[in-house]
């Protein structure tokens, strides 16, 4: 369990570079227990390079994907890590659970505060950028069906929008931002386990579909920006692939022609999800196909399901791809697939990305022998 009082993440831009507008998007995919989450943060500008500082107290159990992969890493004397990106934009993904951020009251009512109440010596607080404000800041919660949003507020002027399973705040030319969200966690229905990210000892996130970015076992608890003065570059070490789970074979599942009992299989689906004014919605075609898919996955033989969102050509669309994958996951869960077996990932970044196509990987792959989308 990580604590944002001890873990520090600071994003710094090189002081020698010209200032540029910074756009940031945070997406928090909540688990059914109201505490566990998968977090996606993207930050974009036209600067040539950035420096990312990870504090020494980051929890090693929280796996992180960092994109782009061509960064250089330098260990610091305090035990932290400094990452140098030769790019003005990047995306971060981590899993974790709220701790000090959430106060639990009676009747399963939770109160989340994004700011710990401490103002830095330079006057900044919460989610901040320096020396200029965020040109645009978007903050989104993607919620399971058993969580009801009761109240929400921000300390800065912006626009709140609540739709079905999402809550979004968007602000322009803002800085030092803090959020308070009050929500009720109702009993989860069906076989769902109650968390978007099961305890890491049981599940580790798999690599995205694109060429695997370097992976660091570090928690991302805050994302902040400020100028830096310099850095010493040390090449990063090659990432090691996560160990594959060795779950026992299920005797009832026949082997797939192209995948053994223990090997994953993939299916590509078209036009199952779309963004309606920026919010993910399952289409009528998607409802029909996903109900059929849930029919073959809602059983004890299913070990793991990984939903990859649509491909995208611009890094700022990473969050939208993730949100669409989360919507598909929510639909499968509502139709009987155990939430504890589902992971979500962004799609592949490609210049000729097809935003209509999603992929779903299933282990064991032989289960897909019984599935036809049509």
Closest to 22 in 3D by CA, of 161, 165, 133, 118: 133
Q: Which of 15-19, 33-37, 69-73 has the lowest mean pLDDT?
A: 15-19
Taking 70 as the threshold, does the pLDDT of residue 309 lie above it? yes
- Average pLDDT over the chain, rounded to whole? 74
Position 266 scores a pLDDT of 92
Is 310 within a domain? Answer: yes
Is 257 within a domain? Answer: no
Please give the residue that has the higher pLDDT: either 335 or 252.
Answer: 335
220 shares its domain with 300: no
Work out the average pLDDT over 180-202: 64
84 shares its domain with 193: yes
Please give the residue that has the higher pLDDT: either 367 or 244.
Answer: 367
Q: What's the Cα-to-Cα distance from 302 to each of 229, 335, 342, 362, rounded to whole Å?
A: 51, 14, 10, 8
Taking 50 as the threshold, does the pLDDT of residue 322 lie above it? yes
Is 241 within a domain? Answer: no
Across 73-87, 162-176, 185-199, which has the greatest mean pLDDT?
162-176
274 shares its domain with 218: no
Position 4 scores a pLDDT of 37
299 shares its domain with 173: no
Q: What percent of the chain has pLDDT over 90?
A: 31
Taking 60 as the threshold, does the pLDDT of residue 242 lie above it? no
Work out the average pLDDT over 340-352: 85
Work out the average pLDDT over 56-83: 65
100 shares its domain with 157: yes
Give the total number of structural domains in the chain. 2
Could you tell me the CATH number of the domain that includes residue 358? 3.30.1330.60
Is 347 within a domain? Answer: yes
**Cis, peptide link before residue 262, omega less than 30° from 0:** no
Across 50-54, 67-71, 201-205, 356-360, which has the greatest mean pLDDT?
356-360
Is 204 within a domain? Answer: yes
Q: Supply the range of the domain harboring residue 202.
A: 9-228
> What does the pLDDT look like over 137-151, one tens digit per residue?
999 999 998 999 999
Please give the residue that has the higher pLDDT: either 165 or 272.
Answer: 272
63 shares its domain with 212: yes
Across 159-168, 193-202, 228-237, which has the greatest mean pLDDT?
159-168
Could you tell me the CATH number of the domain that includes residue 92? 2.60.40
Position 116 scores a pLDDT of 86
38 shares its domain with 162: yes
Across 46-55, 62-71, 349-358, which has the greatest mean pLDDT?
349-358
Taking 60 as the threshold, does the pLDDT of residue 227 lie above it? no
99 shares its domain with 24: yes
173 shares its domain with 293: no
pLDDT band at 56 (very low <50, low <70, confident <90, very high): low
pLDDT band at 171 (very low <50, low <70, confident <90, very high): very high
Work out the average pLDDT over 267-276: 90
Work out the average pLDDT over 338-356: 86
**Taking CA 45 as the corner, what is the angle to CA 240 and CA 314, rounded to the nearest 5 degrees?**
65
Whole-number Å distance between alpha carbons of 146 and 30: 11
Q: Which of 37-46, 242-251, 263-272, 277-286 has the lowest mean pLDDT?
A: 242-251
pLDDT band at 264 (very low <50, low <70, confident <90, very high): confident
């Amino acid at each position: 369990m990580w604590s944002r009082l001890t873990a520090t993440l600071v994003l710094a831009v090189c002081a020698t570079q010209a200032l540029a507008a910074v756009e940031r998007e945070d997406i928090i995919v909540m688990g059914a227990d109201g505490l566990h989450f998968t977090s996606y943060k993207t930050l974009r500008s036209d600067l040539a390079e950035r420096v990312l500082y990870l504090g020494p107290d980051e929890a090693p159990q929280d796996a992180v994907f960092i994109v782009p992969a061509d960064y250089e890493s330098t260990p610091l004397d305090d035990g932290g890590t400094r990452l140098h990106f030769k790019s003005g934009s990047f995306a971060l993904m981590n899993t974790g659970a709220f701790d000090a951020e959430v106060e639990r009251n009676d009747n399963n009512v939770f109160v989340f505060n994004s700011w710990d109440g401490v103002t830095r010596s330079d006057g900044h607080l919460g989610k901040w950028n320096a020396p200029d404000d965020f040109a645009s800041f978007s903050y989104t919660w993607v919620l399971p069906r058993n969580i009801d949003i009761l109240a929400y507020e921000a300390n800065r002027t912006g626009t709140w929008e609540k739709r079905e399973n999402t809550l979004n705040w968007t602000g322009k030319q803002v800085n030092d931002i803090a959020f308070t969200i009050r929500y009720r966690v109702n009993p989860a229905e069906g076989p769902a386990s109650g968390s978007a990210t099961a305890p890491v000892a049981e599940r580790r996130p798999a690599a995205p579909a694109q060429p695997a970015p370097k992976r660091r076992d570090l928690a991302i608890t805050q994302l902040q920006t400020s100028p830096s003065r310099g850095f010493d570059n040390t090449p990063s070490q090659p990432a090691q692939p996560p160990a594959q789970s060795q779950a026992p074979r299920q005797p009832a599942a026949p082997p797939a022609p192209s995948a053994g009992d223990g090997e994953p299989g993939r299916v590509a689906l078209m036009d199952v999800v779309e963004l309606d004014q920026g919010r993910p919605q399952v289409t009528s075609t998607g409802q029909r196909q996903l109900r059929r898919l849930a029919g073959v996955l809602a059983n004890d033989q299913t070990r793991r399901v990984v939903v990859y969102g649509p491909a995208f050509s611009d890094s700022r669309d990473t969050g939208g791809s993730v949100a669409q994958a989360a919507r598909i996951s929510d639909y499968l869960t509502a139709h009987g697939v155990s939430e504890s077996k589902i992971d979500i990932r962004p799609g592949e970044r490609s210049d000729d990305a097809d935003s209509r196509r999603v992929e779903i990987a299933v282990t064991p792959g032989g289960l897909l022998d019984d599935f036809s989308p049509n």
